[in-house]
Each structure stands twice: as structure tokens, then as C-alpha cells.
Amino acid sequence: MIVTLDGPAGAGKSSTARELARRLGWCYMDTGAMYRAVALVATRRGIPLDDESQLAAVATTIEIHFEHGKVFVDREEVTAEIRTEANTAATRPVANAPLVRGAMKQMQRQMAAGRDVVTEGRDQGSEVFPQAELKVFLTASPEERARRRLAEELAKGRQVTLEEILSSQQDRDHGDTHREVGAMRQADGAELLDTDGMDREAVLAVLLAWVDSRRPAPPATAASRPPQS
Ligand code: DC
């Protein structure tokens, strides 16, 4: 079974998707990390971030995998390095390149094939897994998202203001919703979950109930089949 969680930056998708997958005992796919990994390799190789065909060549040849919450590219652990500010900025043009998105879509489908998966990103329900049994668009108001991010940044000892976070968040939202291919949107048939005022447990309770209600029925056994006349 596939569960997709899409939504804007700061809506709490990653921590929610990771915990949901842990509780279900399913695989967790962080597709933002995959775009970040392509950007990291491209930067290390000196590939210009507007050279779409070279970016796509990176996307189709690297091997990405997740293990115990860590991200590996060609077997090297890059969990922290993909999240630096510089790599976050480099990821934007990479994620906007249609050829890279095509390659990522293929890789994501291969990774999910035959597995129970919680996948998280911007386009998972709309483009990559439109047939998923459960599609969720997880969001929260811009102010709430910015407040959550501010608390995280301050906890890491970074000096930022709510205004700075709101402004960069607005830029990211605009970029994510206006890209040519794979623009962020609520997929057809997706549930909308606005998490304003909800704590993590409340969000997980809603998601777990939705998962239960969508689980495919087990195949009928001979004993449970009505007698044939
Ligand atoms: O979720 P995140 O911040 O780690 O995402 C990193 C970047 O990748 C961000 O610019 C949005 C983009 N992204 C995307 O375009 N499509 C996805 N499915 C996931 C992330």
C-alpha cells in the first residue's frame, strides 16, 4: 500500500511521514532528500545548475538509498551535507528541471515497487503515485509554519527572525507552486489536513485512522466465501 504526504515547506511533513512509517513498520521515502542528493553531487562535480542534461545525467546514474533515517548516495552517507543552506539553495534549480523530475519519478516508483511505503514530497500524490491508496495534502497557515521553523532554528542556536523565515518561506512556496513540471498541488482525491493547532500525536491519529480505512481487504478464504449454489 502507498501513502503519499505532500505539502509546503514547514508543514511538518518529514517528521510526520517518518513517524507514520515507523509505527506502521513501512518504508519511508524522503523525496526532498533525493533532489538534495542530486544537487550535492552536481555541485561537487562542478556542473552548472542550469545545465539540465548534465543534471539529468547525474539523476539517472547515482544510487540513492535510505537506511535507519540516514541518506546515502553511491554508498556515502550525506544526511547532514544535503541539508546545508548552500545545498538547499542549489536544490531549487535542480528540482525545477523537468528532466531531473522525470528521472526522480522513475527512481521513486522503482524504490516503492512491491513495498508498503509512506512517501513525502510535493508531487507524490499528484504526479508520481496518483493511484496511491491514501493521498494526503498536509498543510498549516504560513504564520504557524514559520513559528514552528523559528522554534527549530532557535533550538539549533541560529539567529533568525520570524520575518526572515516568513519571507524565505514565501519564496519557497511560490517556487514550489509555480514550477513548470511537478508543481505542488493537492492531488485529485487527496485528503486535506490542516494541522494548525494540532500536535504531532493528533496528526498521527488522523493519519493512522485514514490508513486503516484504506487498507486493501485481505483475500477471501474458502471459509469466508458464501456457498455457491
Ligand atoms: O522537502 P525538502 O525541503 O527537503 O525539499 C527540498 C527541495 O526539493 C525543495 O526545493 C522542494 C523540492 N522537492 C520537489 O520539488 N519535489 C519533491 N517531491 C520533494 C521536494
Measured from the Cα of 179, ligand 1's closest atom is 15
Please state the CATH superfamily assignment of the domain spanning residues 1-12+122-213 in this structure: P-loop containing nucleotide triphosphate hydrolases (3.40.50.300)
Ligand 1 mutation target, pool 28, 79, 91, 173, most atoms within 8 A of CB = 91
pLDDT of 156 > 60? The answer is yes
Rounded mean pLDDT, 182-189: 91
Which is more confident, 57 or 222?
Answer: 57
pLDDT at 69: 87
Three-class secondary structure of residue 121 per DSSP: strand
- Annotated domain spans of the chain: 1-12+122-213, 27-115
Quick check: 122 and 184 in contact, CB under 8 A? yes
Mean pLDDT of the chain: 93
pLDDT at 225: 67
pTM of the model as a whole: 0.90
Quick check: 48 and 54 in contact, CB under 8 A? yes
62 by Cβ neighbours in 10 Å (0-12 / 13-18 / 19+) ranks as middle
105 CB near ligand 1 (under 6 Å)? no
Rounded mean pLDDT, 4-17: 92
Quick check: 106 and 113 in contact, CB under 8 A? no
Distance CA 106, CA 84 (A): 26
End-to-end Cα separation, the chain, in angstroms? 34
Which is more confident, 85 or 107?
Answer: 107
pLDDT of 151 > 70? The answer is yes
CA 205-207-209 angle, 5° bins: 70
Q: DSSP class of residue 84?
A: S
123 CB near ligand 1 (under 6 Å)? yes
Quick check: 118 and 15 in contact, CB under 8 A? no
CATH class for the domain made up of 27-115: alpha beta
Assess whether the region 1-12+122-213 and the region 27-115 belong to the same CATH fold: yes
